[in-house]
């Protein structure tokens, strides 16, 4: 630990009081835990394959002949391990679960933001311990034998420090979770009765070292005192010829502090946690723990209380007898079947003697025939030799093996669907789910005990974190999506462009621009939620998001699609998601660190759009005025063209009439000049000529009238279109004026 201080612990002048106290308490633990520790050790050996009692195994191994006793042949001694699978199932159930430590504000100045910092800190501690899996290891010990242990430790953030030696960051500390490999190395105060053992006043964690290793670690240790203790000491196992036992000795002492207020007096016991690294004779190191409780956390299996004495057990202790029954029945069946005597031949005297060499090997070789000598008695030929067959009781042995399998299920609570046995009576999905649920419910106490232990560990960490964190220290935290982040504790700060917190000088703190997390204020409550593993959560999240996207508005669907692609597990999903994000419109993209506020940026864009609309409206108004002027000019031009066309038509009509009159006079002159024409014929010709002239004049007038009407109709139609466009332009100007008046209002 970073705050441990070596000390010599002068034991040569006499027994150190700490050592004497530790010896007394060790003996107390040994007496109280002897039966429990033997049970756990037996469970460990049983799980490792040592499942036969020593006496029975010795009998089945056989023995050589001795005087008066025949040799005993070896007999089958099989181990068919059926307990490992339910243990693995329960253990893997805990390994796959996601235990999330949650921190909630609980008054006295606590805040939700600081609670989130604690939560992110603890999440990072859990993530950093994944490689060692201390909680899962302790849970496996609880499932195996009834109890497992893990611990909290403080360590320096920086293993080496090449920077300024006066920089306080060189002494920054952080919390870590560590596993305790051997659960039998922990001795706990037998007076502690809480499931978390938070009421323990002392504990031991032992380790046996080779003597050379011990002297290399503590070259100033008193080896002579250890040798003397080996001869006269009363702590077996602490000192041997080639090993030395060292122990972490933790203890809690109290100081009474009196508080008086409002006429009331209260005595508060302030705990002090101390740690010592000891041998049987001296103190090697000592330190003071910053927390109020010993940082060793147990995970219990099934806890019983027998006449005031706690009894712990796991799956192994409950299933030992059933497993032994299984081993016995399988071994007996094999012995009955494989090692049973071969069926002998029954023959009359003299039938096989001539061929005795062949008949001696009749049960070991497959002869095509066996010769024999016919024998007669009283003149009657006896039948040939015959086998005397006997069927071994295999069916009874199989029935007993099935019963022993059922005994395994009954003692472990893990049934057919979980143990991959096939019961032909239970084929329906509902029946299988029911048995699976029954199995999960039977083993649900183990995840609950892990949850309880993590709540206790979280409480210890929340208490310790502000005590080992200096103001201005940068804390590494982790978000719920497992994204790392950094914050500064006890000092106002702002995030730099690289995401590293930068302190803010005195008097410059702005709550809207800067952040400040004070870990020393407030009380916080710790809970633990149990969910599925990260892989399962990712799959469920992707499925839920995929089914939600089709029902979202287009913009929201565009924003959610990159996240959906990134949660998919195919190769290259992350790159595709990044490309999709870059393809989003600017207003839908995530803003980089230090970028302008999106809301303010959106307001500025709206203002620019309004200005553009106003400018566009003015341009449209100007364009409409120009169009009106153009229309009026077009109307005047059309009027002039119409008048000109009418004048041209009138001139053409007058010219045509003049031509007709001239032609008429010429014809009359020609008629007068013709000789021999009578006056009557002349008059008749003149009359006919007059009618023709009248008809031509009438046709010319009618055609002229039609052409004039067509010109007037075209003119009226064009004028109506121009008037319609003018009316639309006036209506648009009126509507725009109303909108501008409404905006001003």
Tally: H helices and E strands in the chain = 18, 21
How many Cα atoms sit within 13 Å of 665 on the Cβ side? Answer: 5
What confidence score (pLDDT) does residue 497 get? 78
621 or 340, which is more confident: 621
- Look at residues 462, 448, 477, 450 and name the one whose alpha carbon lies nearest to residue 152: 462
pLDDT digits (tens, 9 = 90+) for 522-531: 999 999 988 6
Query: Per-residue pLDDT tens for 412-439?
Result: 877 655 444 445 554 555 555 555 555 5
Q: What is the pTM of this model?
A: 0.68
pLDDT given at position 141: 96
- Given a cut of 70, whether residue 700 has pLDDT beyond it is no
In the numeric block, the tokens 């499931």 are attached to 195
Strands (E), 481-601: 484-488, 493-495, 501-503, 524-531
Residue spans of alpha helices (H) in 199-341:
211-217, 223-232, 315-338
Mean pLDDT computed over 301-309: 91
Domain spans in the chain, listed from the N-terminal domain onward? 51-63+74-152+309-342+391-531, 533-595, 608-744
Residue 600: per-residue pLDDT = 62
What pLDDT score does 50 carry? 94
Q: How far apart are CA 648 and CA 671, in angstroms?
A: 35
Q: In whole numbers, what is the pLDDT of the chain averaged over residues? A: 81
Indicate the helix (H) or strand (E) that contains 459: helix 445-468
- For residue 100, the cross-strand partners are 529
Q: Quick check: 687 pLDDT over 80?
A: no
Q: What is the mean pLDDT of residues 176-192?
A: 96
Q: What is the pLDDT of residues 11-46, one digit of tens each?
A: 444 689 999 999 999 999 999 999 999 999 999 999
* The token pair that represents 295 in the structure block: 């940082």
> Is residue 47 scored above 80 in pLDDT?
yes
Structure tokens at 217: 């670690």
User: Between residues 176 and 334, which one has the greater pLDDT?
Assistant: 176
E-assigned strands of 463-580? 474-478, 484-488, 493-495, 501-503, 524-531
Q: What is the pLDDT of residue 582?
A: 82
pLDDT of residue 423: 53
Residues sharing a CB contact under 8 Å with residue 664, sequence separation 6 or more, in sequence order: 689, 693
Most confident among 177-191, 662-676, 691-705 (mean pLDDT): 177-191
- The pLDDT, as a whole number, for residue 299 is 97
Q: How confident is the model at residue 209 (pLDDT cuts 50, 70, 90)?
A: very high
Mean pLDDT, to the nearest integer, of 710-722? 69
- As a whole number of Å, the end-to-end CA separation of the chain is 72
Residue 494 neighbours by CB distance under 10 Å: 16
Sort strands 202-210 and 243-261 into parallel, antiparallel or unpaired: antiparallel
- Within 354-444, residue ranges assigned H as helices are 356-360, 394-412, 416-419, 429-442
| Closest alpha carbon to 300 in 150, 88, 437 | 150
Which tokens belong to 407?
Answer: 């005994």
Q: Could you give the 3-state DSSP secondary structure of residue 142?
A: helix
Mean pLDDT, residues 493-513 taken together: 87
- Name, of 235-239, 336-340, 354-358, 687-691, the range with top average pLDDT: 235-239
pLDDT tens digits, 51-93: 999 889 888 888 776 766 667 778 889 999 999 988 998 999 8
């Amino acid at each position: 630990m970073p705050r441990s201080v070596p000390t010599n612990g002068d034991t040569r002048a006499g027994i150190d009081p700490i050592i004497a106290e530790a010896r007394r308490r060790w003996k107390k633990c040994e007496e109280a835990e002897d039966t429990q520790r033997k049970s756990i050790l037996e469970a460990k050996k049983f799980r490792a394959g040592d499942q036969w009692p020593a006496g029975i195994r010795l009998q089945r191994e056989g023995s050589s002949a001795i005087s008066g006793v025949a040799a005993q042949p070896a007999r089958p001694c099989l181990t068919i391990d059926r307990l490992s699978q339910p243990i693995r199932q329960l253990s893997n159930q805990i390994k796959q679960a996601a235990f999330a430590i949650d921190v909630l504000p609980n008054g006295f100045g606590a805040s939700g933001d600081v609670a989130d910092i604690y939560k992110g800190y603890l999440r990072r501690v859990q993530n950093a311990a994944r490689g060692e899996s201390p909680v899962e290891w302790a849970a496996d010990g609880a499932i195996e034998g009834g109890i497992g242990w893990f611990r909290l430790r403080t360590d320096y953030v920086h293993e080496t420090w090449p920077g300024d030696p006066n920089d306080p960051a060189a002494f920054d500390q952080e919390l870590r979770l560590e596993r305790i490999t051997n659960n039998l190395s922990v001795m706990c105060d037998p007076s502690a009765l809480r499931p978390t053992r938070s009421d323990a006043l002392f504990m031991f964690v032992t380790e046996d070292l080779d003597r050379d290793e011990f002297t290399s670690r503590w070259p100033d240790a008193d080896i002579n005192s250890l040798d003397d203790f080996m001869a006269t000491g009363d702590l077996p196992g602490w000192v041997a010829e080639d090993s030395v036992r060292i122990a972490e000795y933790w203890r809690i002492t109290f100081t009474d502090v009196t508080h008086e207020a409002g006429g009331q007096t209260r005595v508060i016991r302030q705990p002090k946690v101390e740690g010592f690294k000891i041998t049987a004779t001296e103190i090697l190191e000592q330190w003071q723990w910053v927390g109020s409780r010993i940082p060793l956390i147990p995970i219990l299996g099934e806890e019983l209380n027998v006449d005031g004495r706690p009894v712990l057990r796991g799956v192994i202790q409950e299933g030992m007898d059933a497993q032994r029954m299984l081993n016995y029945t399988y071994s007996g069946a094999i012995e009955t079947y494989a090692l049973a005597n071969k069926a002998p031949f029954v023959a009359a005297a003299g039938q096989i003697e001539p061929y005795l060499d062949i008949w001696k090997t009749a049960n070991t070789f497959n002869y095509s025939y066996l010769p024999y000598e016919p024998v007669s008695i009283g003149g009657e030929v006896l039948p040939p030799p015959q086998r005397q067959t006997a069927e071994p009781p295999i069916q009874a042995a199989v029935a007993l093996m099935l019963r022993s399998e059922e005994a395994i299920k009954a003692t472990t609570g893990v049934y057919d669907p979980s143990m991959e046995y096939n019961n032909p009576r239970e084929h329906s999905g509902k029946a299988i789910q029911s048995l699976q649920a029954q199995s999960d419910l039977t083993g649900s106490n183990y995840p609950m005990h892990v949850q309880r232990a993590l709540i206790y560990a979280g409480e210890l960490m929340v208490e310790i974190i502000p005590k080992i964190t200096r103001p201005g220290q940068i804390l590494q935290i982790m978000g719920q999506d497992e994204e790392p982040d950094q914050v500064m504790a006890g000092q106002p700060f702002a995030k730099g462009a690289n995401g590293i917190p930068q302190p803010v000088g005195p008097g410059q703190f702005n709550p809207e621009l800067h952040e400040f997390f004070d870990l020393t204020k407030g009380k916080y409550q710790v809970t633990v939620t149990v969910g599925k593993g990260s892989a399962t959560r990712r799959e469920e999240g992707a499925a839920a998001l995929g089914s939600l996207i089709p029902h979202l508005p287009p913009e929201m669907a565009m924003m959610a699609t990159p996240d959906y692609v990134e949660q998919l597990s195919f190769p290259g999903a992350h790159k595709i998601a990044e490309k999709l994000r870059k393809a989003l419109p600017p207003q839908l993209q995530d803003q980089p660190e230090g970028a302008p506020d999106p809301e303010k940026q959106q307001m500025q864009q709206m203002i620019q759009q309004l200005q553009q609309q106003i400018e566009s409206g003015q341009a449209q108004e100007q364009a409409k005025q120009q169009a009106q002027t153009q229309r009026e000019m077009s109307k005047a031009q059309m009027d002039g063209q119409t008048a000109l066309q009418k004048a041209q038509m009138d001139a053409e009509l007058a010219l045509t009439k003049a031509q007709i009159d001239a032609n008429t006079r010429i014809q009359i002159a020609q008629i007068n000049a013709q000789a021999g024409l009578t006056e009557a014929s002349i008059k008749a010709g003149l009359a006919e000529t007059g009618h023709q002239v009248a008809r031509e004049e009438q046709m010319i007038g009618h055609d002229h009238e039609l052409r004039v009407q067509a010109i007037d109709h075209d003119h009226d139609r064009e004028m109506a279109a121009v008037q319609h466009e003018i009316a639309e332009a006036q209506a648009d100007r009126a509507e725009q004026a109303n909108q501008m008046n409404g905006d001003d209002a």
